[in-house]
Amino acid sequence: MPLRPPAGFISAFYDPLKVPDAPTIGTATGGDAQASVEFTAPTNVGGSAITQYTAVSTPDGLFAQGSASPLTVTGLTNGTAYTFAVWALNTYGPSPYSAASGSVSPQAPRGLFAGGGNSNTIDYVTISTTGNATDFGDLNRSSGNSCNNLAAVSSTSRGVFGGGFGPVNLMDYVTISSAGNAQDFGDLTPARYDLGGCSSSTRGVFGGGWTDQWSNSISYITIASTGNSTTFGILLARTRWLAGCSSPTRGLFAGGENSSSVILNVIQYITIASTGNATDFGDLTSARSNLAGLSSSTRGVFGGGNGPSNIIDYVTIASTGNATDFGDLLSSTSSLAGTSSSVRGIFGGGAAPSATNVIQYITIASVGNATDFGDLTSARAELAACSNGHGGL
């Protein structure tokens, strides 16, 4: 149990009239074997400043301590339901416990692969465990062209798939922790395909693509709230076949083909919370389109591309500059999809040069070649991927 003085605590300084009031509990959010617990400090801090807060889990009595909200409790068991309470400490003693939080169940990061090859199939993998993908459900559209060339964004709980061949303005969503068919989210404006996506924990951003011509449109959604997309800004140029990834604050779009049919090495960025136009970030190690992006909270990785290519390169998302060589894919592959946890990146599917079911992975913090992970439920290219543990969360 945490180092909380028990009821009846006595010390040279203890004074029950000068201890703080209980904090006000906020939201608990599950991660991989951990949870982030939000709270609000009490208005009455007692006879001296609060020096520490402690969040405690039920069951198991696991705890985290710190000076401010949120507190991250680690060592939790994935799949177990937990609630959390918080107490405060000042010189004169401990506050009462707050009320309990809502229940949350930590979960190992799950990656989803959707669409491609005229299929409306959604597969999932547990990112931390190698093995073949499992059927998740179907997109909210029939098998066919609209399932190709879409993009995905996600929060810790919800994945959203936008656009598709046609072009179409469809957006579908799923609850990542619960297998099942997708539901209608709203409309993407403008309708387009061959676009890229990036996201924070709250906002998904779709950039570029093809409408009736190359597009420079950037639009966004609030992932937790169904509805139509809103204009965000514009890319540096009209671009399709680009890839996206993100940190919690910054989204990147890389590569693609411009309106003169020139393959690009350009990387550009946006601040996800602030609408506006994209800004130059730097260059990929080589110009390519039809590539895939993924990220931890600090590093963006881009793999594959037209040719096809086996190149993997990376950038530090917080620092503008050119990409650096990371290693090689298992084989040269284009039109693949990328997803990630904060530790591991996964590339799935693609054309190598025909459609493939191969899933391969990298450790994002360590440069090196990709390793076999397993297989998708079917071979397909021009698919999209997302996760509940990527670097933008």
pLDDT in tens, 110-135: 999 999 999 999 999 999 999 999 99
Q: Is residue 393 part of a domain?
A: no
Q: Is residue 125 part of a domain?
A: yes
DSSP 8-state symbol, 265: -
pLDDT at 307: 87
Residues 355 and 369 in one domain: yes
Residues 199 and 346 in one domain: yes
- Given a cut of 60, whether residue 6 has pLDDT beyond it is no
Q: Are 233 and 275 in contact (CB under 8 A)?
A: yes
Q: Token match 């090495």: residue?
A: 265
Q: How far apart are CA 388 and CA 154, in angstroms?
A: 7
Residues 85 and 210 in one domain: no
pLDDT at 4: 57
Residues 61 and 160 in one domain: no
CATH number of the domain within which 38 lies: 2.60.40.10
- Given a cut of 60, whether residue 258 has pLDDT beyond it is yes
CATH number of the domain within which 305 lies: 2.120.10.80
Q: How far apart are CA 329 and CA 333, in angstroms?
A: 8
Residues 78 and 193 in one domain: no
Q: pLDDT tens across 317-376, in order? A: 999 999 999 999 999 999 999 999 989 999 999 999 999 999 999 999 999 999 999 999
Q: Token match 């284009």: residue?
A: 334
Tokens of 51: 């020096």
Residues 94 and 49 in one domain: yes
Residues 336 and 262 in one domain: yes
User: Can you say how many angstroms the Cα of residue 320 is from the centroid of all Cα atoms in its chain?
Assistant: 21
pLDDT at 79: 86
Largest CA distance in the chain: 78
What is the CB neighbour count within 10 angstroms for residue 163? 31
Last residue of a domain, one of 107, 135, 163: 107
Mean pLDDT on 75-103: 94
pLDDT at 270: 98
Question: How many residues make up the chain in this entry?
Answer: 393
Last residue of a domain, one of 70, 91, 107: 107
User: How confident is residue 31, by pLDDT bands cut at 50, 70 and 90?
Assistant: confident
Q: Which of 89-93, 181-185, 291-295 has the lowest mean pLDDT?
A: 89-93
Q: How many domains does the chain have?
A: 2
Pairing of strands 151-154, 230-234: unpaired
312-315-317 Cα angle (round to 5): 140
Tokens of 230: 């809103």
Residues 274 and 295 in one domain: yes
Q: Are 92 and 51 in contact (CB under 8 A)?
A: no
Q: Is residue 53 part of a domain?
A: yes
Comparison of pLDDT for 108 and 287, the residue scoring more: 287
Last residue of a domain, one of 59, 80, 107: 107
Residues 101 and 191 in one domain: no
Mean pLDDT on 264-281: 98
Q: Is residue 171 part of a domain?
A: yes
Residues 350 and 291 in one domain: yes
Q: Are 153 and 386 in contact (CB under 8 A)?
A: yes
- Given a cut of 70, whether residue 8 has pLDDT beyond it is no
pLDDT at 222: 98
Please spell the DSSP secondary structure of 347-379, one letter per residue.
Answer: EE--BSSSB--EEEEEETTS----EEEEE-SS-
User: How confident is residue 393, by pLDDT bands cut at 50, 70 and 90?
Assistant: confident
Closest residue by Cα to residue 384 from 229, 243, 192: 243
Mean pLDDT on 165-193: 97
pLDDT at 13: 77
Range of the domain at 265: 110-387
pLDDT at 1: 43
Residues 66 and 162 in one domain: no
Q: Is residue 2 part of a domain?
A: yes
Closest residue by Cα to residue 149 from 356, 272, 289: 289
- Given a cut of 70, whether residue 136 has pLDDT beyond it is yes
Rg of the chain in Å (alpha carbons) = 23
- Given a cut of 80, whether residue 291 has pLDDT beyond it is yes
Please spell the DSSP secondary structure of 28-76, one letter per residue.
Answer: EEE-SSEEEEEEE--S--TTS---EEEEEEETTT-EEEESSS-EEEESP
Q: Are 287 and 267 in contact (CB under 8 A)?
A: no
Q: Is residue 76 part of a domain?
A: yes
Q: How far apart are CA 335 and CA 348, in angstroms?
A: 10
Q: How far apart are CA 196 and CA 361, in angstroms?
A: 20
Q: Is residue 392 part of a domain?
A: no
pTM for this predicted structure:
0.86
Residues 65 and 168 in one domain: no
Q: pLDDT tens across 226-246, in order? A: 999 999 999 999 999 999 999
